[in-house]
Chains A and B, each alone.
Chain A
Amino acid sequence: MMGQKSFLDIIKWKLVGSVIIGTGLWFASGALGFPTVFRIMFVLYAVLGFFMFVLLDLPPMPELSGGKAIGALLVFYLLCSAVYTGAGVNLPQFDPEWEKGKIQKIIEAKKRAHPSITPQELNQQTKALSAKTDDLMERLAKLEETMTGKSTAGEGPSAEELAKKKAAMAAGGIPSDPVAYGKEVYELYECYNCHKIGGKGSVKKRGPMLDNIGNLATVEQLKKKIYDPKYLMADGFEKEFNKGLMPKNYPELISEGELDALTAYLVSLKNTSVETPKPVLKK
C-alpha cells in the first residue's frame, strides 16, 4: 500500500505538468494550423489527463454505508446523467428542420403523383402498379399495331410521351427552371456527401469534384451513370469504382423527372479551373 500524502502533494506536480502540456498543445496546435475547436479539445485532453492521474494517487476513499451510501449513489447517478446529457446537448447538432424540409419535399412529390393512395402503401403499390400499367400499355400498343397495321406514332400521345408525363407527374410541381430544380435535387439526395461543387461538400474527398463535369459528359451519359454507377468511371477513381462506392439504388429513389433536372444542373457546371476527372465509359 502507498504511503499517505497530503492532497496538495498529490496534485502539485500533476498540475504543473498538465498546465505545461496543455499550454504546449494549445500553441503547438495553433502553429500547425488546427482550428480553434480542435485546440480547445487538445487542452481538454490535458485536463482529463490531470484528473486521471490525480485519481490514481488519491488516498483510499472513506467507506460509506446505509443511508449515506444510498445518498452517495443517487448523487453519483445524477452526476453521470448530467455529464453525459450535457455532452450530448453541447456537441454540434444536426438541425432537424433542414432534413424535415428535405424529406417533406421527397415525400410530397411522391404523394402528389398518387393522391389516392394512403402514404403507407404507396411504395409497394406504385412499384407493382407501374409494372402492371407499363405491361398493359405495351400490350395495347402491340394490339393496335397489329390492328391498324402501322405504328401509332403521330396519332395522339405515344407510349413514350406518356411515360415522360408520368415521370413529370411523379416529380410533382417542377419549378420552371430545371437547373435550379436540379441543384435542389442534388442537395435532396445528398450527393454532396461524396462530391464537391463550388468548394462545398465532402471534405474527406470520397468522390470527384464535379465543377467541370458539364464539359466532360453529356446528359445521357450522366443519366446512365446515376441510374447505373457501373456505366462509367471517373478517371483515377479505380479503387472507389471497383468498391462500388457510388450508391446503386438511385433508380428506386430518384424519379425520372428529378433525374432530368439533376442532369440539366450537372451539365451546366462548366468551371474549367477545377479538375474534374474525365469519365471513362465502362459499358
Chain B
Amino acid sequence: MKRPLPTALTLTIAFLGVALSVGPGYAQAPEAVPYAIPGVENRALIWVAAQMHILFAAFILGAPIFVVISEWIGMRKRDPRYDRLAKEVTKVTAILYSMTALTGGLFILFLVGLYPSLTAFMVSHFFPIFAVVYPLLFIAETLVLYLYWYTWDTLTGEKKGRHVAIGVLLNIVGLTTLAVINAPTSFMNTPPHPIETATLWESVYNYSWMPLNLHRTIGNITFGGFITGMIAAYMYMFSKTPEERAYYDWMGFVGNLIGVGASLLLPLAGYILAAEFFDYDASIGPYMMADQLSMYFEMQGALVGLIFMASNLYIWLSMKRITGIETLKLFGIPSIAIVKLGFAIILIGNAIWMTPHGFSATQATATEALELPSDWGFLALMPAKNTAAGLIVLVTIINYIIYNRAIRRGTIHWGKIDFMSQFVLIFLAFSAIWTMGLMGAVRSLVRKYFHVYILFPDYTPESYTPTLAHASILVTAMTLVFFGVVSFAIWLSLGAGKAKGS
C-alpha cells in the first residue's frame, strides 16, 4: 500500500454519500417544503398565530386563578358580588376557550406548513409530551372547565365548597398545562448541552423553564385582572340601572386591584427570566439590552410606566367618589396632598425607569452623541432601575392604604365614579395586551437567527431581527383584533344573552 490515504478519502466520500442519501432507494416523495404565500412573510404569519393563541390562552389560564379566589371570598363573606364577578368572568372564559382552541389549531397548522423541519424536530424531540401528556391535559382542562361552569347554579348552599374545589382543580390542571407547554417553548431559548445525551426531563427542565413558568403565571393573572377591568368598564358604560352601575363600578375596582397587585411582582419575574438567559449565554444580554432589541426595552419601559401611572390615576378617581376623603389625614398631612406627592414620585420614578443608556439600536454604531454622559451612566443600570421600580411600587401600595383608610371613615358611592375612569380601565387592558405582545416577541427573538438557540439555525429569509416599527404595527393590529373578539364575547355572554334572559 503505497498511497493509502486516497483510499481513505474515497471511502470517506462514499460514506458521506451514503449517509446523506438517507432513506430507501425507490421513488421518493419530495421532502416537505415550507409553504410560501406571495407577499406575506412566514414569520409574520406564525407570529400572529402564536401571539393570538397566547393572548386567549393567557386569559383562560389566568382568569380562573382569581375567579376561584373571588368565589371563595364570596362564600366566606356572604357577599354575592364576588360570586357574580367570578361567574361572569367564567362565562367570558368559556367563550374565549373556543378561541384558544381555534388559534391553537391554526398555530399548529402554520407550524407544520411553514416550518416543517423545525416542527418535525420539535415534535420528535418532545414526542411523549406532544402525543400524550398535552392532549390529555387539554381534554382534562376542557372537561373541568365545563364542569365548573355548568355546576355553578346546582352546587350551591351546602355544596358550594365542592364547587370551589372544582375551581381549584381547574387551576391545577390549567397551571400544569401551562408548565407542560412552556417546556418546548423555553427549550427553544435555552436547550440543554450537549443535546445528544440530554434526557427528555433535561429538555423539559431546561435553564429558563421555571423562570418562564413563574413569569407567565404572574403575567396571566395581571392580564386577567386588567381584562376583568375592561369587562366591567364595558358593562358599566352600557348598564341601565343604578344597581348595575354600582356593581360594575365595584367590579372594575377589583379588576384593577388584581391587575396592579399581580403586576407589582412582574418586574421581579422578568428580571429572573432575563438573568437566567444571560447566565445561559452572556451574549444574549447585550443583544437584548444594548443592541438589536434595546429599543424594544425602551418601549417596554414607557408602557410599564404608563400602566402604573394609569392604575394610580384610577385609584385617585376611585378616591374622589368617597365622601370624607377631604378631611382624611395621614401623619397630620392631608391625604390628598400625599396622593399628589405620590404622583410626582411616580413621574420621577418613570423618568428614571424610561431613561435608556443610549438612543442607538446597535452598539456597532453607538456614539457618545447618543449615549448618556459617562458620569450619568448609572441612570441606565440595574440599581437605578430597581430603585425607580421600588418607588413606583411603594407609592401604589400607599395609595391603596389611603384608599382603605378613606372607606373606613367615609362613605363610598359605588356607581358614581368619574366616567373617565372607565377609559382608564380600558387603557390599562390595551396597554397590558400591547406590552404582552411586545415582550412575547422579545422572548422569541432572543433566539437570534436560530429556531432553537445555537442548535437549530433559522435558514428562512426572515431570520433577522425585525424592526421595532414592524413589531409595533403587528402588535397593534393583534391587540385590536383581540379587543374585537373579546368585545364580542362580552356582548354575547353578558350583554345580548342577558337582555334575552331577564
CA distance A249 to B195 in the complex (A): 13
Write the chain B residue with the least CB distance to A69. Answer: B237
Does chain B have a CB within 8 A of A8? Answer: no
Does chain B have a CB within 8 A of A65? Answer: yes
Determine if B364 and A41 form an interchain contact, defined as CB atoms under 8 angstroms apart.
no
**Which of A98, A187, A206, A253 is in CB contact (< 8 Å) with B286?**
A206
Asked if A147 meets B1 with Cβ closer than 8 Å, knowing A38-B372, A120-B459, the reply is: yes
Determine if B469 and A89 form an interchain contact, defined as CB atoms under 8 angstroms apart.
yes
Write the chain B residue with the least CB distance to A59. Answer: B418
Does chain B have a CB within 8 A of A198? Answer: no
Asked if A152 meets B472 with Cβ closer than 8 Å, knowing A203-B358, A204-B357, A245-B282, the reply is: no
Complex interface bits, B414-440 against A, C-beta within 8 A gives 1, otherwise 0: 000011100100110011001000000
**Which of B7, B291, B472 is in CB contact (< 8 Å) with A193?**
B291
Residues of A within 8 A of B73 (CB): none
Complex interface bits, A150-175 against B, C-beta within 8 A gives 1, otherwise 0: 00100111000010000000000000
Residues of A within 8 A of B354 (CB): 41
Determine if B473 and A202 form an interchain contact, defined as CB atoms under 8 angstroms apart.
no
Does chain B have a CB within 8 A of A85? Answer: yes
Asked if A202 meets B286 with Cβ closer than 8 Å, knowing A80-B430, A144-B4, A156-B3, the reply is: yes
Q: Which of A28-86 contact B (CB under 8 A)?
A: 32-38, 41-42, 45, 48-49, 52-53, 55-56, 58, 60-66, 69, 72-73, 76-77, 80-81, 84-85
Determine if B419 and A61 form an interchain contact, defined as CB atoms under 8 angstroms apart.
yes
- Interface residue tally on A, bucketed by range: 35 or more
Asked if A88 meets B12 with Cβ closer than 8 Å, knowing A73-B426, A77-B480, the reply is: no
Residues of A within 8 A of B316 (CB): 56
Write the chain B residue with the least CB distance to A86. Answer: B472
CA distance A99 to B458 in the complex (A): 13
- Of A121-129, A216-224, A261-269, A275-283, the one touching chain B: A121-129
CA distance A235 to B48 in the complex (A): 48
Pick the most buried of B4, B19, B316: most chain A CB atoms within 10 A of its CB: B4
Complex interface bits, B284-310 against A, C-beta within 8 A gives 1, otherwise 0: 011100111101001100110000010
- Of B104-112, B266-274, B401-409, B460-468, the one touching chain A: B460-468
Does chain A have a CB within 8 A of B51? Answer: no
Determine if A129 and B19 form an interchain contact, defined as CB atoms under 8 angstroms apart.
yes
CA distance A203 to B316 in the complex (A): 41
Does chain B have a CB within 8 A of A116? Answer: yes
**Which of A55, A64, A84, A107 is in CB contact (< 8 Å) with B457?**
A107
Does chain A have a CB within 8 A of B27? Answer: no
Determine if B4 and A132 form an interchain contact, defined as CB atoms under 8 angstroms apart.
no
CA distance A62 to B418 in the complex (A): 8
Residues of B within 8 A of A236 (CB): none
Does chain A have a CB within 8 A of B26? Answer: no
Determine if A202 and B426 form an interchain contact, defined as CB atoms under 8 angstroms apart.
no
Determine if B426 and A38 form an interchain contact, defined as CB atoms under 8 angstroms apart.
no
Asked if A144 meets B1 with Cβ closer than 8 Å, knowing A123-B457, A192-B363, A246-B282, the reply is: yes
Asked if A52 meets B360 with Cβ closer than 8 Å, knowing A60-B419, A96-B467, A148-B4, the reply is: no
Write the chain B residue with the least CB distance to A122. Answer: B457
Asked if A129 meets B302 with Cβ closer than 8 Å, knowing A34-B376, A103-B463, A121-B117, the reply is: no
Asked if A136 meets B237 with Cβ closer than 8 Å, knowing A85-B476, A88-B471, the reply is: no
Determine if B15 and A136 form an interchain contact, defined as CB atoms under 8 angstroms apart.
yes
Does chain B have a CB within 8 A of A6? Answer: no
Asked if A33 meets B373 with Cβ closer than 8 Å, knowing A55-B313, A193-B287, A245-B282, the reply is: yes
Determine if A35 and B19 form an interchain contact, defined as CB atoms under 8 angstroms apart.
no
Asked if A193 meets B286 with Cβ closer than 8 Å, knowing A45-B347, A84-B434, A152-B5, the reply is: yes
Does chain A have a CB within 8 A of B158? Answer: no
CA distance A37 to B373 in the complex (A): 12
Asked if A193 meets B16 with Cβ closer than 8 Å, knowing A35-B368, A88-B471, A91-B299, the reply is: no
Determine if B360 and A92 form an interchain contact, defined as CB atoms under 8 angstroms apart.
yes
Write the chain B residue with the least CB distance to A36. Answer: B369
Determine if A52 and B299 form an interchain contact, defined as CB atoms under 8 angstroms apart.
no
CA distance A252 to B454 in the complex (A): 7
CA distance A252 to B191 in the complex (A): 14
**Which of B1, B15, B298, B355 is in CB contact (< 8 Å) with A38?**
B355
Residues of A within 8 A of B292 (CB): 94, 99
Write the chain A residue with the least CB distance to B120. Answer: A120
Does chain B have a CB within 8 A of A5? Answer: no
Minimum C-beta distance from B253 to chain A (A): 17
Does chain A have a CB within 8 A of B132? Answer: no
Residues of A within 8 A of B357 (CB): 203-204
Complex interface bits, A100-142 against B, C-beta within 8 A gives 1, otherwise 0: 1001001100100000111111111100010011001100110
Does chain B have a CB within 8 A of A194? Answer: yes
Q: Which of B23-50 contact A (CB under 8 A)?
A: 31
Determine if B11 and A247 form an interchain contact, defined as CB atoms under 8 angstroms apart.
no
**Which of A42, A92, A203 is in CB contact (< 8 Å) with B361?**
A92
CA distance A69 to B240 in the complex (A): 13
Q: Which of B204-235 contact A (CB under 8 A)?
A: none
Does chain B have a CB within 8 A of A12? Answer: no
Write the chain A residue with the least CB distance to B453. Answer: A249
Determine if B376 and A202 form an interchain contact, defined as CB atoms under 8 angstroms apart.
no
Minimum C-beta distance from B485 to chain A (A): 13
Residues of A within 8 A of B371 (CB): 35, 203
Minimum C-beta distance from B107 to chain A (A): 20
Q: A45-B350, A84-B472, A122-B457 are in contact. List 15 more A-B contacts (CB 8 A).
A: A33-B373, A35-B373, A38-B372, A60-B418, A62-B419, A64-B237, A91-B298, A93-B468, A96-B466, A132-B19, A133-B15, A144-B1, A155-B3, A190-B283, A190-B287
> What are 22 residue pairs bridging A and B, where the CB atoms are less than 8 Å apart in the complex?
A2-B320, A35-B373, A48-B347, A49-B344, A61-B420, A69-B237, A84-B476, A89-B473, A91-B359, A94-B293, A94-B467, A140-B7, A141-B8, A144-B1, A190-B286, A190-B291, A193-B363, A200-B364, A202-B286, A203-B371, A244-B282, A245-B282
Name the 7 nearest CB pairs between A and B, nearest first: A88-B472, A193-B286, A120-B117, A94-B361, A119-B459, A61-B420, A156-B5
